[in-house]
């Protein structure tokens, strides 16, 4: 098995120099209210206690982390919220500036001429001209009926721009895992240790044989609306599956061995930013990254049809 399978996130961004789209210099005059919850902070055990992680992801050693109180969004940022940001600022995402983004092959809604090719390391991902946050499956799609779905085709820089406007920030990786665990210590998932307790699907992931056969047992091929699955112990929805969520940190597989106990911020530099939570493409047989300790990453200018974000604020 590939030690770092690329089922969930297409590696790398579009060809060419990174786009510097700019971040709004000041927050909105009337920042939007966020549906969030206050978390008390404290000490928790971060990392993979089951030894199930891919070695190249660096989910070990399990280590103690101490966090201050903070507030975290109940859901990922939705299409509706991101549309309000774009309407208020005129912001153009990096996918729009580049002119293309990555779409999963079974969700494609585009003319053949707009398919610019498959991603070599993950051919189920297609580079599609005109795919962006408001055309999530390609230029023949739109977001009508998707207002309560998580926004996708947003890069790390796009997420940061939204945060600056909304007076929020991205969570650190440690904050994300603490929030996702929902108060459960040492468990495999945000709800316990079984994928489908009592036969219930607890998150939006792949069923069937990846990447060709999805039986759709959970009712979704791509994203599901936020709040489609039960919340965790802190009242947070879809911290497993549905869409990957950007974190603030640079990624390093060796970081846990040197991470400080108090409020770790990640490495000082790097080439990839951390993503957490897994997506609708995760499957135990190939990309078992909807576990609460699982880590992944991508270059900060990259975007795809299965990556979004949620925000945090001071407690």
For 122-142, write each residue's pLDDT tens digit: 999 999 999 999 999 999 999
CA-atom Rg of the chain in angstroms: 18
Is the preceding omega at residue 61 within 30 degrees of 0, hence cis? yes
Q: Characterize 103-138 residue by residue with b for buried, 16 or more Cβ atoms within 10 angstroms of its Cβ, and e for exposed.
A: bbeebbbbeeebbeeebeebebbbbbbbbbbbbbbb
141 token code pair: 């799609």
Half-sphere exposure of residue 148: CA atoms within 13 angstroms, side-chain side: 8
Percent of the chain residues topping a pLDDT of 70:
92
In this predicted structure, what is the pLDDT of residue 127? 97
φ and ψ at residue 302, rounded to 5 degrees: -75, 150
Segments in the chain forming alpha helices (H): 79-89, 94-98, 156-166, 173-181
Strands (E), the chain: 36-39, 42-46, 63-67, 70-73, 100-104, 115-119, 122-129, 208-209, 213-214, 244-250, 273-276, 295-298, 307-308, 312-314
**Residue 97: strand, helix, or coil:** helix
- 211 against 105, higher pLDDT: 105
**β-strand pairing of 312-314 with 307-308:** unpaired
The Cα 278–Cα 270 span in angstroms is 21
Q: Taking 70 as the threshold, does the pLDDT of residue 261 lie above it?
A: yes
The Cα 89–Cα 84 span in angstroms is 9
For 42-69, write each residue's pLDDT tens digit: 999 999 999 999 999 999 999 999 999 9
What is the 8-class DSSP label of residue 113? G
**Residues 170 and 179 sit within 8 Å (Cβ to Cβ):** no
Residue matched to tokens 């660096």:
58
Going from the C-alpha of 75 to that of each of 105, 168, 234, 266, the distances in angstroms are 26, 14, 12, 23
Cβ neighbours of 55 (radius 10 Å) = 10
Class of the CATH-defined domain 44-314:
alpha beta
What's the predicted TM-score (pTM) here?
0.94
Percent of the chain residues topping a pLDDT of 90:
83
Q: Taking 70 as the threshold, does the pLDDT of residue 4 lie above it?
A: no
φ and ψ at residue 243, rounded to 5 degrees: -140, 145
pLDDT band (50, 70, 90) for residue 1: very low
Burial degree of 260 (CB within 10 A; 0-12, 13-18, 19+): exposed
Helix, strand, coil % in the chain, rounded to nearest 5: 15, 25, 60
Q: What angle, 0 to 180 degrees and rounded to 10, lies between the N-to-C axes of helices 79-89 and 156-166?
A: 70
**Residues 62 and 48 sit within 8 Å (Cβ to Cβ):** yes
For 265-289, write each residue's pLDDT tens digit: 999 999 999 999 999 999 988 889 9
pLDDT band (50, 70, 90) for residue 19: very low
pLDDT band (50, 70, 90) for residue 99: very high
Closest C-alpha among 246, 263, 87 to residue 160: 246
């Amino acid at each position: 098995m590939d030690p770092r399978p690329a089922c969930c996130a297409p590696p790398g961004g579009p060809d060419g120099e990174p786009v510097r789209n700019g971040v709004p210099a000041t927050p909105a005059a009337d920042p939007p209210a966020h549906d969030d919850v206050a978390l008390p902070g404290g000490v928790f055990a971060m990392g993979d206690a089951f030894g199930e992680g891919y070695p190249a992801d660096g989910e070990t050693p399990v280590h103690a982390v101490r966090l201050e109180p903070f507030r975290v969004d109940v859901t990922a940022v939705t299409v509706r919220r991101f549309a309000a940001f774009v309407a208020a600022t005129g912001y153009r995402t990096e996918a729009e500036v580049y002119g293309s983004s990555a779409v999963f092959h079974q969700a494609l809604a585009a003319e053949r001429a707009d398919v610019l090719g498959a991603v070599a390391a993950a051919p189920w991902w297609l580079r599609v001209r005109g795919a962006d946050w408001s055309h999530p499956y390609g230029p023949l799609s739109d977001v009508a009926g998707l207002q309560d779905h998580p926004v996708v085709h947003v890069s790390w820089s796009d997420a940061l721009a939204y945060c600056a406007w909304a007076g929020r920030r991205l969570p650190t990786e440690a904050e994300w895992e603490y929030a996702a665990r929902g108060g459960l210590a040492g468990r495999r998932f945000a709800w316990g240790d079984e994928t489908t307790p009592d036969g219930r699907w607890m998150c939006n992931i792949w069923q069937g044989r990846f990447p060709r056969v999805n039986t759709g047992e959970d009712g979704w091929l791509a994203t599901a609306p936020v709040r489609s699955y039960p919340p965790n112990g802190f009242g947070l929805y879809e911290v497993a599956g549905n869409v990957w969520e950007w974190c603030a940190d640079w990624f390093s597989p060796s970081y846990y061995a040197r991470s400080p106990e108090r409020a770790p911020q990640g490495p000082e530099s790097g080439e990839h930013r951390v993503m957490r939570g897994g997506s609708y493409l995760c499957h135990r047989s190939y990309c078992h990254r909807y576990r609460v300790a699982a880590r992944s990453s991508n270059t900060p200018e990259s975007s795809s049809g299965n990556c979004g974000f949620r925000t945090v604020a001071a407690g």
